[in-house]
Amino acid sequence: MSLWQNLVNSRTPRSTLSPNGGSSITVPSLSSSSSSSSSSSSSSTTTTLFPAANSPQRASNSLTSDRQGRGRNKVRLEPGHSPLDWAVLKSSGTNLRNIDPRDFPMKVTREELKKHKSQDDCWTVIKGKVYNITPYLKFHPGGVPELMKCAGIDGTALFNKYHAWVNAERILDTCFIGFYVQ
């Protein structure tokens, strides 16, 4: 085995489960001592990884509570539907609005909005702006059923109840259709 392979093997992290339920990783520390593989006195550093196994930030099938004690259900997203996958889709150049570019931006009435309330054609209003959320449905961390609660209606109140700190304009910028007119 080469000197380089010995160094790499001696620096390979070892994962363990810490007593508090969090994951930890042990990494041998670098030292100026001999790089011999027969050295028996080696020091290491243990770091607890984030989030801990019992953290509400981890997706699970159980009901968890948020800061105000409301129950919420986190769902496991299908493979290929992570936030990073959404960012890739947004930047792909695909027309996520699903409207003729010549019609953009639209002025959407309540009657028009009501026509778009199925999983195959889903529009909603957030803070006066209309979004075609159809392509985003499977990417939503709360799952499709939660997002469908605001399909075809003004979802501003529901959005603010659960996501007041979230920048919907940034997440859904490529799904923006136009403005809600009453």
pLDDT tens digits along 125-163: 999 999 999 999 999 999 999 999 999 999 999 999 988
CA angle 173, 174, 180 (to 5 degrees): 65
| Distances, alpha carbon 130 to alpha carbons 3, 103, 146, 147, in Å | 61, 13, 18, 14
My answer on whether 30 and 103 are in the same domain is no
Has residue 29 got a pLDDT over 80?
Answer: no
My answer on whether 35 and 124 are in the same domain is no
My answer on whether 90 and 158 are in the same domain is yes
Has residue 64 got a pLDDT over 80?
Answer: no
Is the CB of residue 60 less than 8 Å from the CB of residue 73? no
Q: Does residue 63 form part of some domain? A: no
pLDDT in tens, 4-13: 555 445 554 4
Q: Does residue 66 form part of some domain? A: no
Q: Does residue 42 form part of some domain? A: yes
pTM of structure: 0.62
Strand partners, 180: 108
Other C-beta atoms within 10 Å of 144: how many? 15
Give the pLDDT score at 54: 66
What span, in angstroms and rounded, lies between the C-alpha atoms of 118 and 154? 15
State the average pLDDT for the chain.
Answer: 78
Mean pLDDT, rounded, for 24-46:
50
My answer on whether 41 and 99 are in the same domain is no
My answer on whether 97 and 141 are in the same domain is yes
Strand partners, 57: none
Has residue 107 got a pLDDT over 70?
Answer: yes
Number of folded domains that form the chain: 2
CA 62 to chain centre: 18
Q: Does residue 33 form part of some domain? A: yes
Strand partners, 27: 45
Question: Residue 9: which domain range?
Answer: 3-48
Give the pLDDT score at 182: 85
